[in-house]
Amino acid sequence: MPKRAAIRNEAARLRACFEQAGAQVVETPVLQPAEVLLDLYGEDIRARAYVTSDALRGEQMLRPDFTVPVVQAHMQHGAEPARYTYAGEVFRRQEEDATRANEYVQVGYELFERDAPAASDAEVFSLFYNVLEGLNLRAATGDIGILMAAVDGLHTAERRRAALRRHIWRPRRFRALMDRYSGQAKVPESRVNLLAMVDPMAQAGMRIGLRSDVEISNRINVLREDAAVDPISKNEVAMIDAILAVRETSDNALEHLRDIAVDMPAINGAVDRLAARLEALDGRGIDLTKLDFEASYGRTQMEYYDGFVFGFYAENRPDLPPIATGGRYDALTRQLGQGHEIPAVGGVIRPGLILDLGGVK
């Protein structure tokens, strides 16, 4: 119990820092409607959340994080621009690693601002950087938007681009799709045989499962359409690989990405946004020659991040998860805004991990 009290005290200190930066304190219910999260992430979220239900409210989830309910509240009632802070428990299932906490406290800061995204990114990152100063943490940054722009620029069918966009946050699946769409992965023999049939539905009597004839027929048509699409070129695959391989200090990463953009102009806009962000960070005193940038960073975090992403790590404690994480989630406000949207960026800190490191000196 003494540690819980210490964590609450540290959470209160962090939240006070965010209040001093202009944030309004908000609270969200511990139980969240499961329908919203399932619509956003599909059934995958069940593997990460605790689910319950009752006859009146239907399925509910113990709060897996704060961002979704804060966005919902802002889209209903918020002014522009707006800054929010919060503190409280979140709950995550940990079925593969029993040593990781399944309940812990988060303290967060969210900024909704329409007109200056680079300045907003720099504000949030530098605020976290300063709040955590003294812990000797390594800051990592990335930009999901660059990879998304590269996928959008591929010369292939929109159905394939959509599948790749959907799996950006699942690196293994993304790589498998790239291999398949570029012809580097062998098509299963069973699929080849199926598509070679003049009338695959003639085997109706042998089917098992719950799919209807219409669903099966539609799926076969999709597979046939996909099989007729030309492979993604080796050059475009190489460009995607080159982007994912960028891992340098931010100033060098920007130059490297500009070089890649010469051969893949679809990423020019995203690279320009990175340049504007770095200029804003430099204006806030962040040393770009010591700030790491990884183009693939953030691909295993929550799927609503679609631009700038960041994290802070204790390099001398590799056993600990990130002390803080955050990023930009513009698309999430579109999904939850019922026709309205506003660019947004934010992050969370785990006060319990700060105490594990001995606290901010």
| 103 within a domain of the structure (yes/no) | yes
Please list the residues that pair with 33 across neighbouring strands: 60
Same domain, 210 and 329: no
User: Among residues 211, 235, 259, which one ends one of the domains?
Assistant: 235
Q: How does pLDDT run across 72-109, given as a tens digit for each residue?
A: 889 887 788 999 999 999 998 876 666 777 889 999 99
Same domain, 100 and 52: yes
Number of H helices, E strands in the chain: 14, 12
Q: How does pLDDT run across 292-332, given as a tens digit for each residue?
A: 999 999 887 667 889 999 999 999 999 899 999 999 999 88
Same domain, 143 and 213: no
Select from 261, 229, 228 the least CA-distant residue to 243: 261
Statement: residue 199 has pLDDT above 60: no
Same domain, 43 and 168: no
Name the least confident of 46-50, 152-156, 232-236, 333-337: 46-50
Same domain, 98 and 8: yes
Same domain, 32 and 146: yes
> How far apart, in Å, are the Cα atoms of 173 and each of 38, 43, 44, 157, 179?
20, 16, 14, 18, 10
| 241 within a domain of the structure (yes/no) | no
Structure tokens at 169: 């946050």
Total domain count, the chain: 2
Place of tokens 């799709």: 177
Residue 341 has what pLDDT?
84
| 78 within a domain of the structure (yes/no) | yes
CATH value at residue 54: 3.30.930.10
For every residue of 132-181, DSSP letters joined together read: TTTS-PEEEEEEHHHHHHHHHT-SS-HHHHHHHHHTTT-HHHHHHHHHHH
CB 110 within 8 A of CB 84: yes
Residue 95 has what pLDDT?
66
Place of tokens 């045989």: 193
CB 152 within 8 A of CB 131: no
Residue 290 has what pLDDT?
95
| 240 within a domain of the structure (yes/no) | no
Same domain, 143 and 167: no
| 337 within a domain of the structure (yes/no) | yes
- Give the pLDDT mean for 276-294: 97
Question: pLDDT category, 111, cuts 50, 70, 90?
Answer: very high
Give 218's contacts (C-beta < 8 A, 6+ positions apart).
Answer: none
| 361 within a domain of the structure (yes/no) | no
Same domain, 270 and 256: yes
Place of tokens 């204790």: 314
Give me the percent of the chain exceeding a pLDDT of 70: 84
Q: Report angle CA 110, 113, 117 to the nearest 5 degrees.
A: 100
Q: How far is Cα 305 from Cα 329, in angstroms, rounded to an integer? A: 5
Q: Which domain holds residue 274?
A: 2-150+247-356
Amino acid at 12: A
- Give the pLDDT mean for 150-170: 93
Select from 7, 192, 20 the least CA-distant residue to 107: 7
| 21 within a domain of the structure (yes/no) | yes
CB 110 within 8 A of CB 344: yes
Structure tokens at 295: 């183009």
Residue 222 has what pLDDT?
57
**pTM for this model (two decimals):** 0.86
CB 148 within 8 A of CB 308: no
CB 247 within 8 A of CB 298: no
Structure tokens at 243: 């982007």
Residue 220: DSSP 8-state: H
Same domain, 160 and 177: yes
User: Among residues 200, 235, 270, which one ends one of the domains?
Assistant: 235
Q: How does pLDDT run across 121-144, given as a tens digit for each residue?
A: 999 999 999 999 989 999 999 999
Residue 350 has what pLDDT?
96
User: Among residues 202, 235, 268, which one ends one of the domains?
Assistant: 235
Statement: residue 215 has pLDDT above 70: no
Place of tokens 């210490």: 6
Backbone phi and psi for residue 139, each to the nearest 5 degrees, phi listed first: -95, 130
Same domain, 12 and 94: yes
Peptide bond into 29 cis (omega under 30): no
**In b/e form, how buried is each residue of 30-59, taking b as 16+ CB within 10 angstroms?**
eebbbeebbebbeeebbebbbeeeeeeeee
Same domain, 55 and 126: yes
Place of tokens 């990460």: 48
> How far apart, in Å, are the Cα atoms of 334 and each of 40, 78, 331, 338?
11, 14, 5, 7
Residue 286 has what pLDDT?
97
Same domain, 125 and 266: yes
